[in-house]
């Protein structure tokens, strides 16, 4: 954690990275290390990951194509959050 980072606060991009990293955790020791790496209390991380997850992209929903010599990848993204909660997240005000 850098000196300028505030404990338990992060940007949406960093939160997404944290949640993606959490998917690979297989032991309590790894989870504790992850919480220290991202500067988040272990108890808060446990609570957060019970109700929030990052979108997942499945291989079956990925379409690869080549257009004008450039590879294009399109993926359908799914979320585990109910639609009603997603609407609430979109409408929520930003916190400083």
In a domain, 28, yes or no: yes
In a domain, 63, yes or no: yes
CB-CB neighbours of 19 under 10 Å: 16
In a domain, 78, yes or no: yes
pLDDT tens digits, residue range 6-36? 788 888 888 888 988 998 889 999 999 999 9
Higher confidence at residue 78 or residue 90?
Answer: 78
In a domain, 35, yes or no: yes
Query: Which structural domain, as residue segments, surrounds residue 85?
Result: 12-91
In a domain, 52, yes or no: yes
Of the chain, the end-to-end C-alpha distance in Å amounts to: 19
Q: Provide the number of structural domains found in the chain.
A: 1
pTM: 0.55
In a domain, 79, yes or no: yes
In a domain, 27, yes or no: yes
């Amino acid at each position: 954690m850098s000196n300028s980072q505030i404990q338990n606060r992060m940007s949406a991009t960093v939160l997404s990275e944290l949640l993606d990293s959490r998917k690979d955790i297989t032991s309590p020791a790894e989870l504790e290390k992850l919480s220290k790496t991202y500067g988040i209390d272990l108890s808060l991380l446990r609570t957060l990951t019970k109700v929030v997850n990052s979108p997942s992209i499945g291989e079956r929903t990925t379409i690869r194509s080549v257009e004008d010599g450039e590879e294009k990848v399109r993926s359908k993204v799914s979320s585990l959050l109910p639609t009603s909660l997603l609407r609430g997240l979109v409408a929520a005000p930003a916190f400083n």
